[in-house]
Amino acid sequence: MTDKERTRSSIFDLKGVPDIKQALPLALQHVVAMIVGCVTPAIIVAGVAGLSEKDSVILIQAALIVSGISTLIQLFPFIHTRWFTIGSGLPIIMGISFAYLPSMQTIAAEFDIPTILGAQIVGGCVAVFVGLNIKRIRRFFPPLIAGTVVFTIGLSLYPTAINYMAGGVGSPDYGSYRNWIIAVITLVIVTLLNHFGRGIFKLASILIGIIGGYAAALCMGMVDFSPIAQASAFQLPMPLHFGVKFEISSCVAIGLLFAINSIQAIGDFSATTSGGLDRMPTDGELQGGIVGYGITNILCSLAGGLPTATYSQNVGIVATTKVVNRCVLGLAAVLLLAAGFIPKFSSLLTTIPYAVLGGATVSVFASIAMTGMKLITSENMSYRNTSIVGLAAALGMGISQATEALQNFPDWFVMIFGKSPVVIATLIAVLLNIILPKDLEAGS
C-alpha cells in the first residue's frame, strides 16, 4: 500500500490519523457549514435580553468554546463505566441549537440569561435520564411526534426572521427600505447558491450570503465597527460570568425540549452512521451520545454557553463525503475553540446588521420546518396521524400567538404553556399518540 493509499484510508477510517494537509480543508468545510448557525442564537438571545456589547461578545465567545468542547467529548469519549459512557465516539459536530431559540427568547424577555442557564442545567439532567433509559422512552417519540415538534419549532421561528429582515424590533429604522433591500440581497444569494452552487459554494451558502449582505450593508453605511476596536485580541473564557438562576416554569419548558432533542439526536446519530459507516448506531453509542449531550450541556451552562445539539448540516457533509475520521472533525472543534479565544472575532459577528441575519436565517428556519415535515410524512398520513399533527401545531401556534386568552391563568402556567408553541405542541402530540387508538388507521 502506498503512502497516498494509507492517508486516504485513514481519512475514511473512523480512528485513522490523516495528514494535516488533507485534514485541514475538510475540517474548515465543517466549520464553514456550521459557524453562522452556532453564533446566531447567541446574537439573537443577547439582543432580546438587552445585553451590553461586552456581554454580547462574551455570550458569543462562550458559544464557540462550548461547541468545540462538546464536539470533542462526543468524538473522543473520556469516561467509560459499566453503566454508561460519556460521548458517542461517532463523527458528530455539536453547536448551539436553534431548537431552543423560541423558549430562550421568551425566558430572556421575561427573566434574563442566568435563568436560561439554570434551566439548561435541569435540561441536561433530563437528557442524561433519557440517555440512560433510551430503550424505554424512545417508543413515546416516533418520527410522527418528533417531526411535529421540529415542524412547530420551524414555524415559531418565522416571525423572528421577518422581524430581523425588517431591521429588528425596536430599532429606529425598523421596516425601512434599506433593511429590506439588504435582507433580500442576502436571501437571494443564499437561495441561488443552495440550488445552483456546487461543492463548498453550496455547503457555505449561508456564510457566503451573509458576507454578500454584509458587504452591501457596508456600502450603505449600516455597519458600526466600534465594538471591534473595544474588544481585546485574546481572552480566556469567563465561567459563571452571567451566573445561574432556577425558575420553575423556565426549567419545565427547557426540560421538555431537552427530552425531545435527545430523541431527535437519534436521527442525527443514525444518519451519520448509515451515511458514513454503512451501519446503524449501536445501543451503546446512542446511550453514550445522549448522556454526553446532557453532561456537556450542564458544563456548558456553567461556562456561560447556551444549549448545544447535534448539527444536521454537518451530518449531511459526513454522509455526502464519507469522511468519518474523528481527527478531521476534532480539528474542526479545535478551530472553533481557537475562534472562541479571540474576542475581536466574536465582536466582528456582533456588527452584522439584523437585516443580514434575517435574510440568512429565514431559509434556515424554513429548512427546520421542512425537516419536521419529512419526518412526519415518513409515516402513513392516516386520519389519526394528520389529526395529531394538525391539532398539536394548531394549539401550539395558536395559543402562543394569542396569550391574552390565558390572562386569567397563573403566571407560571402562562410561562410554560403560553409563551412557546413547542411545549404545548409536544405535550398534545405525545398525549394524542397515546390516547388515539391505532386501529383507526385501518379504516381511514
pLDDT tens for residues 247-290? 998 998 899 889 878 877 776 787 777 777 877 788 888 899 99
Whether residue 49 has pLDDT greater than 50: yes
Q: Which three cell numbers stand for residue 66?
A: 462550548
pLDDT more than 70, % of the chain: 91
What average pLDDT does range 417-421 have in this prediction?
A: 72
Q: Name the residue among 307, 366, 385, 312 with its Cα closest to residue 151.
A: 366
The verdict on residue 41 lying in a domain is yes
**What is the spatial distance between Cα 57 and Cα 103, in angstroms, rounded to a whole number?**
21
Q: Name the residue among 258, 341, 344 with its Cα closest to residue 301.
A: 258
The alpha carbon torsion through 393, 394, 400, 403 (nearest 10 deg) reads -160
The verdict on residue 246 lying in a domain is yes
The verdict on residue 179 lying in a domain is no
- Please give the residue range of the domain that contains residue 289: 3-156+225-353+364-438
The verdict on residue 204 lying in a domain is no
- State the DSSP code for 67: H
Structural domains of the chain, count = 1
Whether residue 5 has pLDDT greater than 50: no
The verdict on residue 194 lying in a domain is no
pLDDT band with cut points at 50, 70 and 90 for residue 151 = confident
Q: What is the DSSP code string of 24-47? A: HHHHHHHHHHHHHHHHHHHHHHHH
Q: What is the pTM of this model?
A: 0.72
Instruction: Assess contact for 95 and 39: CB atoms under 8 A.
Output: no
Give residue 70's pLDDT: 93
What average pLDDT does range 358-373 have in this prediction?
A: 80
**What is the spatial distance between Cα 33 and Cα 177, in angstroms, rounded to a whole number?**
30
The answer to whether the Cα torsion of 226, 229, 233, 235 is positive or negative is negative
Q: What is the DSSP code string of 295-353? A: HHHHHHHHTTPPPEEE-HHHHHHHHHH----HHHHHHHHHHHHHHHT-HHHHHHHHTS-
**What is the spatial distance between Cα 268 and Cα 272, in angstroms, rounded to a whole number?**
6
The residue behind cell 431548537 is 99
Q: Name the residue among 146, 220, 151 with its Cα closest to residue 183.
A: 220
Instruction: Assess contact for 358 and 113: CB atoms under 8 A.
Output: no
Whether residue 314 has pLDDT greater than 80: no
CB atoms within 10 A of CB 329: 26
Return the axis-axis angle of helices 283-302 and 53-75, rounded to nearest 10°.
160
Instruction: Assess contact for 190 and 131: CB atoms under 8 A.
Output: no
Which distant-in-sequence residues (6+ apart) come within 8 Å of 362 by Cβ? Answer: 158, 161, 162, 165, 187
Q: Which three cell numbers stand for residue 24?
A: 485541514
The verdict on residue 302 lying in a domain is yes
The verdict on residue 195 lying in a domain is no
The verdict on residue 385 lying in a domain is yes
